[in-house]
Amino acid sequence: MLRTLTIAATANPSPARVSLTSPFTRQSLNAIRSLLANTLEGSDIPVAEESHAAVLIPLCNVDNKPGLLLEVRGKLRTHSGEVSFPGGKVDKTDASPLAAALRESQEELGIHPQQVEILGRIGPAETSLSGLRVWPYVGFVHPARQVDAYSEQADAPEVDVPLPSLALSSLRLSPAEVAHAFHLPMSALVSPPRLHTYLFRAERPYFAVSVADLVAGPHAVHSGPDPTPSWINDPQQRDEIGGGREGRLEVWGLTGWYLSELMRCLGVYSDQPSIR
């Protein structure tokens, strides 16, 4: 049966498990942790014979607004100009895919592993166009000054008090890998003008999210002097390669798929039968 993707939280806010406008709290993080635990039932596990990569889907509050951190890749041999989550290939020195995601997040954005409170993982892991099985971990990024306090908060009773906001100026971008890093508010994920429906691997619907204005806006940091985002714009490229389609800078491809999967899990998006 053909399916289409809808914005469930716009039609009826009650399906959404977390607020799209109020800051993340201890209560909302615990709710996300519970929802992600349910998605892993019967999920796959890493196979030694395969090559693996891992990404961190970093949730955070910025200026008391809930959202996610993303980056625009620099001028690299592969994935140049793409919007992505921090992450990369699992090295032999990494104890696990999660360790690789945390290491890459520190190398690319200067986020120390102790700042990241892991909430769970989305499953199943998809295979990238280069043949790597990519493991997506969801975590909340605490400000560096809060790393000693959040573990105590995790054991405390659920409270609906905003968690401290992350200062984007505290990020330390790797100039060799990252051109820009920016905050994508949760509210932007239900803004119809930003959303474009694509099919992941030509069969599964997901939303790509236009973000050029966010990259050039106040809630972004840059590794170079020019804040204007640049990306590859070639309609002849293979699916998922480049910054987006039709001249847009978008969260799309595998990154867009994982973002949509997280939003499905949180009740923000929903699948509906499509009659054609």
CA dihedral sign, ordered 135, 238, 67, 60: positive
pLDDT at 245: 85
Q: What is the pLDDT of residues 32-41, one digit of tens each?
A: 999 999 766 5
How much is the average pLDDT of 67-73? 97
If pLDDT is split at 50, 70 and 90, which confidence band does 242 have?
confident
Which pLDDT belongs to residue 260?
97
The model's pLDDT over 167-224, given as tens digits with 9 standing for 90+, comes to 999 999 999 999 999 999 999 999 999 999 999 999 999 999 999 999 999 999 999 7
- On whether the CB atoms of residues 98 and 45 are closer than 8 A, the answer is no
Task: Locate 148 and state its tokens.
Answer: 């000693």
Q: What are the sequence ranges of the domains in the chain?
A: 3-273
- Which residues, 6+ apart, have CB-to-CB distance to 28 below 8 Å? 18, 19, 66
Q: Which long-range contacts (CB under 8 A, 24 or more apart) does 34-41 make?
A: 35/120, 35/265, 35/266, 36/119, 36/120, 36/121, 36/122, 36/138, 36/265, 37/120, 39/120, 39/121, 39/122, 39/123, 39/265, 40/120, 40/121, 40/123
Its pTM stands at 0.89
What pLDDT shows up at residue 145? 79
What is the residue type of 194? R
* Residues 66-95, mean pLDDT to the nearest whole number: 86
pLDDT at site 10: 65
Q: Is 54 left (phi over 0), alpha (psi -120 to 50) or beta?
A: beta
User: Domain 3-273 sits in which CATH superfamily?
Assistant: Nucleoside Triphosphate Pyrophosphohydrolase (3.90.79.10)
- 3-state SS, 32-89, equals HHHHHHHHCCCCCCCCCCCCEEEEEEEEEEECCEEEEEEEEECCCCCCCCCEECCEEE
Say if residues 190 and 7 touch (Cβ distance below 8 Å): yes
Strand 3-7 to 126-127 pairing: unpaired
- Average pLDDT for 80-95: 92
